[in-house]
Amino acid sequence: MLDKLNIVKQRFDEVSDLIIQPEIIADQKRYVKLNKEYKDLKVLCDKRDEYITLTKNIEEAEEIIADGSDEEMVEMAKMQLDEAKSAMPKLEEEIKYLLIPKDPEDEKNVVMEIRAGTGGDEASIFAGDLFRMYTKYCESKGWKTNVIDLSEGTSGGYKEIHFEVNGEDVYGTLKFEAGVHRVQRVPQTETQGRVHTSAATVMVIPEAEEFDVQIDPKDVRIDYFCSSGPGGQSVNTTYSAVRLTHEPTGIVAQCQDEKSQHKNKDKAFKVLRSRLYDMELAKKQAEDAAKRNSQVSSGDRSAKIRTYNYPQGRVTDHRIGLTLYDLQNIMNGDIQKIIDELMLVENTEKLKEASEIF
């Protein structure tokens, strides 16, 4: 393990030197990337220092015990040896996890799509509730959200809403939210007081850079149309809204959030690139999940992942059998505890997978 940590230290020293070079600082994109690598490597280097200290403590204690000339020193050495040996397994597990190569997708920003499923007007209202839950969660993380396109429900909420989330390690956190979310409650429109079940589908798409996906302009049909919904005087008067159709795949992306046709076009292309990228990523995730029988990231977008039961104030994540009786706080954006549990399961899977390396 120390050999691997020494290679990490060598790279850390290289990166430390690079990020103070004027030409690197001038290249903002490269500087941000190296700065992120520096932070990740520093965590490992700190663990390396802990590992070296513990190893030395064990060696010193064993030497004193083997010498045996001073009883008091031997007793102290035995205590030091016990402490160091009990701390070592936990530290080794932490280092093993940190040494697993990170998924480069995890650092990406995302485009999220929430679509009302079965349940009519109630499904649209629930899609609106989920959108509010995610925006509040993103706000708590210091991430920025920006609506790209939406279609309002007839009784509130959204038939569908697309929005982007920008911040640090966004996809690595929100990817667990992809799938079918189900709600059980008495709808506002229900006169008999009966509990209904409705659903909404959440998609979490990593934002693709231009170099991730090459789109041939000849493959894209561009349609311009009048915006609908909120937007002031320009609504329904100017052809500012943009719809892109990628003819080889039939994938459609549109944006009408901005007043400028040019800005809408840029956003729509960003969504189109991300959807094409996501299509390939979904295939890869499904293959990876089949290989390791992953519980939390199967690549199956039609899988029912969570139920929100209002009469019982209960939220259940079906992938890991987690049930929490804290529905109100969760719907107000407090979903970190669910994400933490899902991350723990995924990290355990990764450690099992990587155990043969160490």
Of 317, 323, 277, 324, nearest to 295 by C-alpha is 317
Q: What pLDDT is recorded for position 234?
A: 42
Res 47 pLDDT > 90? yes
Higher pLDDT, 7 or 1: 7
Q: What pLDDT is recorded for position 11?
A: 94
Percent of the chain residues topping a pLDDT of 90: 58
Q: Mind listing the domains of the chain with CATH numbers?
A: 2-99 (1.20.58), 104-349 (3.30.70.1660)
Of 12, 92, 96, 38, nearest to 348 by C-alpha is 96
Q: What pLDDT is recorded for position 237?
A: 56
42-56, 92-106, 118-132: least confidently modelled range: 92-106
CA torsion through residues 244, 249, 250, 253, sign = negative
Average pLDDT on 148-174 reads 93
Burial class (CB in 10 A: 0-12, 13-18, 19+), 201: buried
Res 128 pLDDT > 70? yes
Please enumerate in sequence order all residues whose Cβ is within 8 A of that of 117, keeping only pairs 6 or more positions apart, or say none. 123, 180, 198, 199, 200, 201
Residue pLDDT, tens place only, 222-250 = 998 887 654 444 444 577 889 999 999 99
The SS3 call for residue 86 is: helix
Average pLDDT on 11-22 reads 94
Average pLDDT on 256-274 reads 86
Q: What is d(CA 299, CA 247) in angstroms, rounded to the nearest whole number?
A: 24
Q: What is d(CA 357, CA 185) in angstroms, rounded to the nearest whole number?
A: 49
Residue pLDDT, tens place only, 273-301 = 888 888 887 777 676 666 555 556 555 56
Residue pLDDT, tens place only, 187-202 = 876 767 889 999 999 9
Band of the pLDDT at 153, cuts 50, 70, 90? very high
Residue pLDDT, tens place only, 103-121 = 778 889 999 999 999 888 9
Mean per-residue pLDDT of the chain: 87
Higher pLDDT, 214 or 81: 81
Average pLDDT on 77-104 reads 88
Band of the pLDDT at 166, cuts 50, 70, 90? very high
